[in-house]
Structure 1
Amino acid sequence: MTVPAGTLRTRILNIVDDVTRECLGAIPETSISGRRVARELTAIVARRGKPGMIVSDRACR
């Protein structure tokens, strides 16, 4: 994939309930820090409650 000069790549943090397949969050950013991930997960836990398990899948670049 060729990216035009001056264009930033966009990353998307997708948070999905594996049982219901409901998208709980889709956060587009040019850079996503661990702190941002923690903030998003904390907000989801506050709304939905603590999950029994969290699975992380970092897609290859």
Structure 2
Amino acid sequence: NQLLFFPRKPIFVLLSPFQNLSHFSIFYIYIYIYIYMSRFINININMKNARMTYIVKRSES
């Protein structure tokens, strides 16, 4: 699963006690989801801006 391998865990996570590893893994999964969703939202906003610019320029000409 891609979620488990991204992002690469720093050394301090690997050296920490085993009971903390699960908390760090959950933390990294949340970061991954946040980055993934923010990319998706940015792509949608850019597409809407491009579409609106196209509509405005077409109506002006």
TM-score, normalisation: structure 1: 0.31
Higher percent of residues as helix: 2
Which structure has the higher relative contact order (CA within 8 Å, separation 6+)? 2
Bigger Rg, structure 1 or 2: 2
Higher percent of residues as strand: 1
TM-score, normalisation: structure 2: 0.31
